[in-house]
Amino acid sequence: MTNQFRSVLAMILVAFILLASNSLANNENKKGNDSVEQPTYSEIQYSALRADDKVDFGLKLTAEDVTATGLTLICEQSGGVFEGELASTSEFSLDMFDGAKWIVCDTVIPEEEIAWDQPLLLIQSEDSVSWDIDWTTIYGELKPGSYRISKWVMDQTSENTYFAYFTVK
């Protein structure tokens, strides 16, 4: 093979790899939050959905006492499949529904400066636990709209994201 042919072949191979990785990234984005339809809200409590149907820990998240600065997050465990204990940390994320897709809320401080308390929050089997969440230091006061809060929950071998939907009036 000539050097020129090798160079062309190498360029084609690099272009193919870049195209394939871009296609994979786009497919992952399509699987993400953009395809979520707007949930139906009840007046007081809002239903929870899992991000991944492969792992069901039997959890239901509910947002109560919602204000523009925080809420009480109720986590109920019933059934499901998990190994060992279920746990979460204080970390959470907020998304706003823009009428077509979920958009990650902007933080009022740079993300690298967010200092999460990392105590392990245990979730007992067939029980419920509540967490009071104040997001003002991270997200500020929320504008009226439809939101969801994401909590990551793990057992000894896997992890999943659960959502609670709520409206700020």
Q: Average model confidence (pLDDT) for the chain?
A: 77
What pLDDT sits at residue 119? 82
d(CA 106, CA 121): 25
What pLDDT sits at residue 164? 96
48, with CB counted inside 10 A (0-12, 13-18, 19+), is: buried
What pLDDT sits at residue 111? 87
What pLDDT sits at residue 41? 37
The tens digit of pLDDT for each residue in 57-103 reads 999 999 999 999 999 999 999 999 899 899 999 999 999 999 999 99
- Which residues make beta-bridge pairs with 149? 94, 164
pLDDT at 136 over 50: yes
160, with CB counted inside 10 A (0-12, 13-18, 19+), is: buried
Q: Judge whether 59 and 48 are in contact, CB under 8 Å.
A: yes
DSSP per residue, 9-76: HHHHHHHHHHHHHHHHHHHHHHHTGGGPPPPPP-SS---EEES-TT----EEEEEES--SSEEEEEEE
**Using 50, 70 and 90 to split pLDDT, how confident is the model at 35?**
very low
What pLDDT sits at residue 1? 52
pLDDT at 47 over 90: no
What pLDDT sits at residue 92? 95
Instruction: Confirm whether pTM is higher than 0.75.
Output: no
